[in-house]
Structure 1
Amino acid sequence: MSDHKKKASYEEMLELTKQDLNTGVGRSVKHESAAKQVSGEAIYVDDRLEFPNQLHIYARMSEKAHARITRIDTSPCYEFPGVAIAITAEDIPGIKDIGALKPGDPLLVEDRVEYYGQPLLAVAANDHETARKAAMAAIVEYEELEPVLSVEQALRNNHFVSDPHTHQRGDSAAALASAQHRISGSVHIGGQEHFYLETQISSVVPTEDGGMIVYSSTQNPTEVQKLVAEVLDIPFNKVQIDMRRMGGGFGGKETQAAGPACIAAVVAKLTGRPAKMRLPRMEDMMMTGKRHPFFNQYDVGFDDNGMITGCEMKLAGNCGNSPDLSDSIVDRAMFHSDNSYYLGDATITGYRCKTNTASNTAYRGFGGPQGLIMPEIILDEIARTLGKDPLEVRKLNLYGDEGRDTTHYYQKVEDNVLPEMLADLEQSSDYHQRRREIKAYNASSPFLKKGLALTPVKFGISFTATFLNQAGALIHIYTDGSIHLNHGGTEMGQGLNTKVAQIVAEEFQVDFNSIQITATNTEKVPNTSPTAASSGADLNGKAAQNAARTIKQRLVEFAARHFNVTEEDVEFHNNHVLIRDQLMPFADFIQLAYFNQISLSSTGFYRTPKIFYDREKARGRPFYYFAYGAACSEVVIDTLTGEYKILRVDILHDVGASLNPAIDIGQVEGAFVQGAGWLTTEELVWNDQGRLMTSGPAGYKIPAITDMPIDFRVRLVENRKNREDTVFHSKAVGEPPFMLGISIFCAIKDAIASIGDYRSSPALDAPATPERVLWAVQDMQQRQTQHNPAPAAEITT
């Protein structure tokens, strides 16, 4: 009798069916590249071996924010030995504009400069330093034009990249007019540099048929494929994009990775030589866009209890010089301007302001944070006005039962777990005891003041551009039982490949180590959506699951025929296949299927159901579901210097049924710290000529280990599956916890408010740098002096 027909004992089979894989879904499997990354063995684009005759490219940037180009002369570039070519816009074979959705992003400037740092020409040489020197030798002459450098200036001039858009529910003007109390104000919300460890880079190799193989650090391989083909004027099928991993992306490589890839492709086309373009850090920061800074205005009515009855907000995003993804980004800011709260009769208007700065782009949260922070600022102000605890006012305004369960864009909040999450965190963080202790501490501490804030997050999951909510995958099973997995998502350190491999392992009930994950490649899975909007695991995991289940169904049907059993008699368990009373190792069963001519390969596809948005009516269901979270943060500030320290953070976050708890907790921790950095240390500064002055780590401060909370506690919500049919009922985790960092901003304001006995809310723009904190402290102290003037005799003295 052959091995595959040997029978296991009933007890062995029973024991096997009770055993679970320790590498499947729900397990804390180690990141598939972790060992390679910490040892330096992980290969990034710049680590690839140099090709023979490879060229290195440097782009000359504009030194004006707004100007006409009157002359470009590249002839001096060729005086440097080793220079192969210097290109301008005239040398591009195909299209010259690589705008993501609308025109506005010329690959190289043709005649008009739109921002300081815009690429004008590119030089390719045998080494990077020669290319840089040669590019700087080119002669460029300008006729300067008046730039628009601020959102306020753009608003005054109606200087937009696209038309404003409005969400409206009820009659906000009437609600405001009849409100018992009313407050209004404005706040500047700063942008944020992506500061990925691997800067923008692409390496391009010409192929024998006039095509290109492109190794690109991109979140959007299909977009790079499309644009490279278009600038070269060749069919898409002649361009292959290969992307194994990125050294960080955070949204900055969703659209803006295309520029270096296209320039390198043009050079490779014109010279017939491999070409690589890697942006040095300063050039990367000056040339590429950031998180959109916003200027937000609000007018809010509320009752004696602090419940909002009417609200109007104007959200003005600084889009930079071109549309890029700004329509969707400002839309998402509008969608999230309620955060977790019912705003009563509400009118929310989003403005897409055009300025002469680098075109701002996607960043973790995709505009959501810039809108979501607004109700937290507003509710703090309401609490100070009424002399209430801000948490009490927050809980009062949460989405609730019928009548208070619909957003201002008319999507129902159907699975609101926030009331119980806030109650849980309120108790586990000892919120009320600590607030009493902090008040006592502040009363006795003249210079150091502590602050505490507990804030929630409700974040919608799906691309707001509905057509992007689709994904593909490819699975091969080889005759030794090993599995090849490829999908359309991109790995940027977030653990996407690990999660998708776990999903496939779970479906086939095999060890994670038997699955080989290969580089994202447009020749394997075509027409991919970008890995963004927290959708990587949702979309690609479902597509991989679909492919796995297709193959698995073929195998079940084969086993039923071959062994003359029912399909219900065929089960996959712990690297084995149980066929009624026979037990076979998975590899043996696969080989048997191969000999019986069963296809062991399949593509998979998934599209997100239920979502739609009618822009004309400004209503719909743009999100498949909401992810929730809450953070309680405590800080201490020095009122003499404005410096501060995060003392303790308690986080409770909802990821549904976690695919990988360790990776999810890591994502929550990292997102929180990055969100705190956005609102505290990461300040972008431009001079009056439009030049970015914080163009490197010497002037731009991302959070370091000393900026981490001294006491950091993170928990995932347990026993709460996603009610929607996501992959194993999990929830997205990439973006939602970023906004937990808002609790730090609110805690800093709470500490400043203590100077005025919590009777007024401090005026504080973001980021809350020590300078801004000090100014807010001084403003609060001045208000106190005016409110409680010293006796006349003391003033005289």
Structure 2
Amino acid sequence: MSNHEILGGAGSSRMHDSARLHVTGEADYVDDLPVPALTLYAAFGVSQYANARVTTLDLERVRQSPGVASVVTAHDIPGENLISFIQADEPVFASTHVECVGQPLFAVAAQSFQQARAAIDCARVEYEPLVSVLTVEQALADDSFILPSKRLSRGNATHALESATHHLEGQLQVGGQEHFYFESQVSLAIPNDNGGICIHSATQYPSHIQQAVARVLGLKRISDVTVMCRRIGGAFGGKETQSTLFACVAALLAAKTGQAVKCRLTRQEDMVMTGKRHDFIALYQVGFDDEGRIEGYRVELSSRCGMSADLSGFINDRAMLHSDNCYFLPHVTINSHRCKTNTVSNTAFRGFGAPQAIWVMEQIIDEIARYLGQDPLDIRKRNFYEPGRRSTTPYGMRVEDPLLHEIVSRLETDARYRERRAEIEDFNRHSPILKRGLALTPVKYGVAFTQTHLNQAGALVHLYIDGSVYLNHGGTEMGQGLYTKVAQVVAEELQIDMGRITISAADTSKVPNASATAASVGSDLNGKAAQAAARTIKLRLVEFAAKHFNIRPEEVVFSNNRVSIGSQQISFQELVALAYHERISLSATGFYRTPEIEFDRSKFTGRPFLYFSYGAAVSEVAIDTLTGENTLLKVDILHDCGRSLNPAIDRGQIEGAFLQGAGWLTMEELIWNDAGVLQTNTSSSYKIPACRDCPVHFNVELLETTPNRKDTVFSSKAVGEPPFMLAISVFQAIKDAIAAAGNRCRRPQLDAPATPERILNAIQDIHST
């Protein structure tokens, strides 16, 4: 990277391109876009039963309701009644059988949202209830699985467990999580005069929506559908596949009426109809020696997938691939069970299955430490991957970077872990009611799509005669700063100020077949593609300048908005204008495919990731042993971002990911009743972290001395998902505080989230044992 003489080059802390618009409320989201005259508004009629046959669906009164222009059911779909691609198991509308509360039966388009929702209530639907499977435990008992179970094994776990000096086993349970993005699901469908349709959608995956809409409408050409997205009001994985339904229904109603149709959910509708993070149950056995080194490990990971597969197969696969976290497991067997339940189909969420599996492993490390009466950090360090024979994951990929030891050792010192441990023990001895806890936990996160073909991206760059640049790529901006970072990459490559670059909306008519903006690879993929496009134009300019000025190509040097051409200098704009007049192409596409990835999913072996991202966090908490309330007091984080493209944005992503993870593990609880109805379906019943839940001391540092060894864009690393798992340190610190309320060597039984009720139960448990 340059020395940042240009404004906004790679490596500089550049403000988010929409920051001012965000804080002033001027940013346009899908719901803010001007709509055509006579636009209609959609609403859904959904199932009120978790599992039932539909015996009557009478919509006559719905059709006669004021303002209603159209009513559609499964019978009105001209193409395929299908929104899922992988398993082909999720329809747009159910017809004779519903499998969860909130599954769509029909949709209405009316002249206003109010009229559409009022019309929904006029439907007469009769059901024949069937037996529902609502929990993971029920699904396991009934052999109810959405996909076949999978196994990952190395060595002989059975023998290692039998011969180990010490042995522990138990059951752990970690809950799901609602995405709770600011902007609910929304799509605007506008038919055009050539029989095609344009969709403005809040989606992470425009190409998926393009394909799904074409299939539902029965169009012969995918290219007849254009999907656009300038920005999303948060997503976290919840708009990767889940936005497809709402875009398809808006498109169906628009095609039927010939009018634009907007589909926008209320918060409650969104929470009832859309998928969540998978909750997991883990049954484990672990064998270890006197030093706490793991010798054998077996775990049964069972997750709630919901009524259809969605992305559950890949999510559970990633959970298996991260079951080791940072620890070498010489003999291991991991069995993964993907449970079908009569609840909404669970889906992608930040971390994509890895957080649940890493949480399980960190609980086991904590159990070993308390069993042996040692500090959990010492047990963690003894089990870390190391160069040599302890450097290979259970699936056969080598852990090549020695960063884990460096990060943990540095953080242990900088955060005064040992000193604070002694101070906290002294505090707890003199405090009968309030107890404090401390924990340091690491993360190792594999970066790439585990579906190999998705590791590709495209970009389009236009250079205009005034030296300005138009940039388009397949990534979507959901607040994470992707557009800013990719613009910085182009600015760095061309050595121009970022202010010269116009950032445009994701658009399937400009960059086709783009992968979802997910898996933390948005910058890796789209940055590389945009860099390739900019470099193509730059090489054309170099070749032109060398020929025009009769010098060698290596004498043409771009720097700080100017171009050195031998002994003379001209402005970047002057060179562009000269090239234009000599008919040099100033437009280029760029393409990138992630190298080195070779993963055999059938054998579960190979290299599923390009590299690993690392980090560690120290968290200190206080709990009230009378109420069960907990307070996050201090957090220190050291995270590996390679050579950061934008340190300010990366720090913001780390802070946000950590707090979202803390919410998952301490307060966010999904509760279904016995009828399969989600009870925590509003902001009043489902709690997420607020400003007062942030620690007063919140220190985030980037490991800035270690650029990525792999050929990523300017040696950077992914930052969206890995820091989420650092919040496990909060949960471990709570367990540490609970242990301080009794005998510290006792192992508190605490499932996640660690709500006040669960904390009180855990305190009571250690007092009674």
TM-score of Structure 1 vs Structure 2, range by shorter chain: over 0.9
Match of 1:534 in 2: 520
Instruction: Select the residue among 124, 127, 132 that pairs with 1:142.
Output: 127
Q: Secondary structure at the match of 1:404?
A: coil
Structure 2 residue 160 is matched with structure 1 residue 175: yes
Distance across 1 between alignment mates of 2:7 and 2:227: 34
CA contact (8 A) 2:187 2:247 kept: yes
CA contact (8 A) 1:100 1:325 kept: no
Structure 2 residue 568 is matched with structure 1 residue 582: yes
Q: Secondary structure at the match of 2:349?
A: coil
Structure 2 residue 164 is matched with structure 1 residue 164: no
Match of 1:505 in 2: 491
Distance across 2 between alignment mates of 1:592 and 1:731: 38
Letter in 2 for 1:65: A
1:346-388 deviation line (CA, Å, top 9, x unaligned): 0011111000000000000000101111111001000000000
Q: Secondary structure at the match of 2:652?
A: helix
Instruction: Select the residue among 614, 617, 623 that pairs with 2:600.
Output: 614
Match of 1:483 in 2: 469
Distance across 2 between alignment mates of 1:19 and 1:608: 27
Q: Choose 1 or 2 for highest CA Rg.
A: 1
Q: Secondary structure at the match of 2:309?
A: coil
Q: What is the CA-CA distance between 1:184 and the residue it aligns to?
A: 0.4
Match of 1:709 in 2: 695
Instruction: Select the residue among 108, 113, 134 that pairs with 1:128.
Output: 113
CA contact (8 A) 1:100 1:255 kept: no
Instruction: Select the residue among 54, 57, 76 that pairs with 2:42.
Output: 57
Distance across 2 between alignment mates of 1:574 and 1:360: 49
CA contact (8 A) 2:4 2:12 kept: no
Distance across 2 between alignment mates of 1:103 and 1:157: 23
1:542-567 deviation line (CA, Å, top 9, x unaligned): 00000011111111000000000000
1:710-757 deviation line (CA, Å, top 9, x unaligned): 210000002100000000000000000000100000000010111233
Letter in 2 for 1:765: D
Structure 1 residues 485, 445: closer, same or farther in 2, change over 3 A? same
User: Mapping of 1:715-794 within 5 angstroms?
Assistant: 715-783=701-769
Letter in 2 for 1:503: V
Match of 2:29 in 1: 44
CA contact (8 A) 2:543 2:553 kept: yes
Structure 2 residue 187 is matched with structure 1 residue 187: no
Distance across 1 between alignment mates of 2:177 and 2:11: 33
Distance across 1 between alignment mates of 2:601 and 2:189: 40
Match of 2:343 in 1: 357
Q: Secondary structure at the match of 2:741?
A: helix
Match of 1:295 in 2: 281
Structure 1's consecutive aligned runs of 4 or more residues displaced over 2 angstroms after TM superposition are: 17-20
Match of 1:565 in 2: 551
Distance across 1 between alignment mates of 2:402 and 2:660: 26
Q: What is the CA-CA distance between 1:18 and the residue it aligns to?
A: 7.8
User: Mapping of 1:97-496 within 5 angstroms?
Assistant: 97-234=82-219, 235-496=221-482
Instruction: Select the residue among 53, 60, 72 that pairs with 1:87.
Output: 72
Distance across 2 between alignment mates of 1:584 and 1:142: 76
Distance across 2 between alignment mates of 1:733 and 1:18: 23
Distance across 2 between alignment mates of 1:487 and 1:19: 24
1:229-261 deviation line (CA, Å, top 9, x unaligned): 100011201000010000001000000101110
Distance across 2 between alignment mates of 1:18 and 1:93: 58
CA contact (8 A) 2:50 2:342 kept: yes
Q: What is the CA-CA distance between 1:97 and the residue it aligns to?
A: 1.3
Q: Secondary structure at the match of 1:137?
A: coil
CA contact (8 A) 1:752 1:762 kept: yes
Distance across 2 between alignment mates of 1:436 and 1:139: 67
1:97-119 deviation line (CA, Å, top 9, x unaligned): 11141112110112110101111
Give ranges in structure 2 of 5+ residues lacking alignment: none
Q: Secondary structure at the match of 2:325?
A: coil
User: Mapping of 1:23-42 within 5 angstroms?
Assistant: 23-42=8-27
Q: What is the CA-CA distance between 1:603 and the residue it aligns to?
A: 0.3
Distance across 2 between alignment mates of 1:516 and 1:774: 55
Letter in 1 for 2:578: L
TM-score by length of 2: 0.99
CA contact (8 A) 2:146 2:340 kept: yes
CA contact (8 A) 2:442 2:616 kept: yes
Letter in 1 for 2:646: N
Match of 2:59 in 1: 74
Match of 1:644 in 2: 630
Q: What is the CA-CA distance between 1:294 and the residue it aligns to?
A: 0.6
Q: What is the CA-CA distance between 1:23 and the residue it aligns to?
A: 1.2
Letter in 1 for 2:253: V
More displaced stretch, 618-627 vs 73-82: 73-82
Letter in 2 for 1:570: V
Q: Secondary structure at the match of 1:529?
A: coil
Q: Percent identity?
A: 56
Q: What is the CA-CA distance between 1:491 and the residue it aligns to?
A: 0.1
Q: What is the CA-CA distance between 1:67 and the residue it aligns to?
A: 0.3
Q: Secondary structure at the match of 2:228?
A: strand
Q: Secondary structure at the match of 1:438?
A: helix
1:599-653 deviation line (CA, Å, top 9, x unaligned): 0000000000111211232211001000000000000000001001000000000
Q: What is the CA-CA distance between 1:76 and the residue it aligns to?
A: 0.4
Distance across 2 between alignment mates of 1:225 and 1:615: 27
Q: What is the CA-CA distance between 1:79 and the residue it aligns to?
A: 2.6
Distance across 2 between alignment mates of 1:230 and 1:419: 51
Q: What is the CA-CA distance between 1:758 and the residue it aligns to?
A: 1.4
| Aligned residues between the structures | 767
CA contact (8 A) 2:743 2:766 kept: no
Match of 1:10 in 2: none
Give ranges in structure 1 of 5+ residues lacking alignment: 1-16, 784-797
Letter in 2 for 1:464: T
Match of 1:3 in 2: none
CA contact (8 A) 1:118 1:358 kept: yes
Distance across 2 between alignment mates of 1:194 and 1:416: 34
Letter in 2 for 1:318: R
Q: What is the CA-CA distance between 1:139 and the residue it aligns to?
A: 0.8
Distance across 1 between alignment mates of 2:290 and 2:66: 77
Distance across 1 between alignment mates of 2:149 and 2:109: 42
Structure 2 residue 645 is matched with structure 1 residue 659: yes
Structure 1 residues 745, 561: closer, same or farther in 2, change over 3 A? same
Q: What is the CA-CA distance between 1:19 and the residue it aligns to?
A: 7.2
Q: Secondary structure at the match of 2:121?
A: helix
